[in-house]
Amino acid sequence: MTWKLCTAGMLAAMLLATAPPSFADDVVIKLWSRADRSGPLRAGNLVAAGDTLNKMLAATGGDKRVKIELNETNAKIS
């Protein structure tokens, strides 16, 4: 199993576990990521995982979609 599929599975589990019982079409996941040379693809992988999850949800006929709101900065955590 690839790490992208694992990440998409974790996002799906978060979506199902934390989503309030409503009929909302969009589930917004707000993320913060540090932009640095040690993980240049980190933010892109999160967005790609959201896209994969949306494809999985569409394949099951669900009406929910995941929207990733990513805040990528160079700031260090103090």
Q: What is the pLDDT of residue 35?
A: 80
> What pLDDT, on a 0 to 100 scale, did the predictor assign at position 28?
92
State the pTM of this model: 0.60
21 in a structural domain: no
Q: Is residue 44 part of a domain?
A: yes
20 within domain boundaries? no
Q: Which residue range(s) make up the domain with 55?
A: 3-13+26-73
In terms of pLDDT, which residue wins out, 30 or 75? Answer: 30
Q: Could you please report the per-residue DSSP string of 7-69?
A: HHHHHHHHHHHHS-SS--SEEEEEEEEE--TT-TTHHHHHHHHHHHHHHHHHHTT---EEEEE
Give a yes or no: residue 19 inside a domain.
no
54-72 pLDDT tens trace:
999 989 988 889 999 988 8
- Considering its fold, how many domains does the chain have in total? 1
**CB half-sphere exposure, 55, CA atoms < 13 A:** 9
- Residues 1-57 pLDDT 10s: 576 666 767 667 666 666 555 555 898 999 888 887 777 788 888 889 999 999 999
